[in-house]
Amino acid sequence: MRSEERLSVAYKISKVSIVLNVLLSGVKIIIGAISGSAALVADGFHSVSDVITTIMAMIGVYVSGQKSDEDHPYGHEKYEPVMGKLMATFLFATGLLIAFNAIKNIQAGNVHIPKGTALYAALLSIVAKEAMYHYTMRGAKKIESTVLKQMLGTIERMPFHLWGLS
C-alpha cells in the first residue's frame, strides 16, 4: 500500500478515535461528577489520555511515512514502533496517577455509592470502546500499522475476548 493511502487510512481512524474519545471523556467526567462516581471521572480522564495517545499515533504514522533522506538513508519506519513505546509509557504514567488519586480518596474516606446514571454512562463507554476496537483493528491490519495496533492497547477491551465474543 502506498504511503499516501496508508497515511489517509491511519488519519481517518485517528480522527474518529479522537472525536469518540472527546465525547466519551466529556460524558464520563460530567456524569461521574454529577452521580458521585470517582471511578467514572477517572475513566473520563483516561479517555482524555486516549486522545493524547491517538495524536501521538498520528505523528508516528506521519513521520514513519517520510521518504529516505541523507540523515535516514533507510527511511523513517522505525519511528512508528518508537512512538508506540512512548505511548505505552505515557499510558503507564496516566494509570499510576489515577491509582494514586484513588488510593488518596480511599485513605481520606471519600468513598460513596454513585447514582445509577453512572452505570448507564459506563455501559455506553463499553459499547463505544468495543466498536472502536474493531474499527481500529480492521484499519491496522489493512495498513499493517504497528502504532495503530499499539493504540488498541489504549482502547479498553472489557473481558469480551475471555468470553469468546471478540
For the chain, which domains are there?
A: 3-163 (1.20.1510)
Per-residue pLDDT of the chain (166 residues; tens, 9 = 90+): 567 787 788 889 889 989 999 999 999 999 999 998 988 999 999 899 889 988 888 888 788 777 777 877 776 777 777 887 888 888 888 889 888 988 998 899 888 788 889 999 999 999 999 999 889 888 888 887 766 666 665 444 444 444 444 4
- pTM value is 0.73
* Concatenated DSSP letters of the chain: --HHHHHHHHHHHHHHHHHHHHHHHHHHHHHHHHHT-HHHHHHHHHHHHHHHHHHHHHHHHHHHTSPP-SS-TT-STTHHHHHHHHHHHHHHHHHHHHHHHHHHHHHTT---PPPTHHHHHHHHHHHHHHHHHHHHHHHHHHHT-HHHHHHHTTS---TTGGGT--
Residue 81's alpha-carbon distances to 5, 46, 56, 59, 87, in angstroms, are: 19, 22, 11, 12, 10
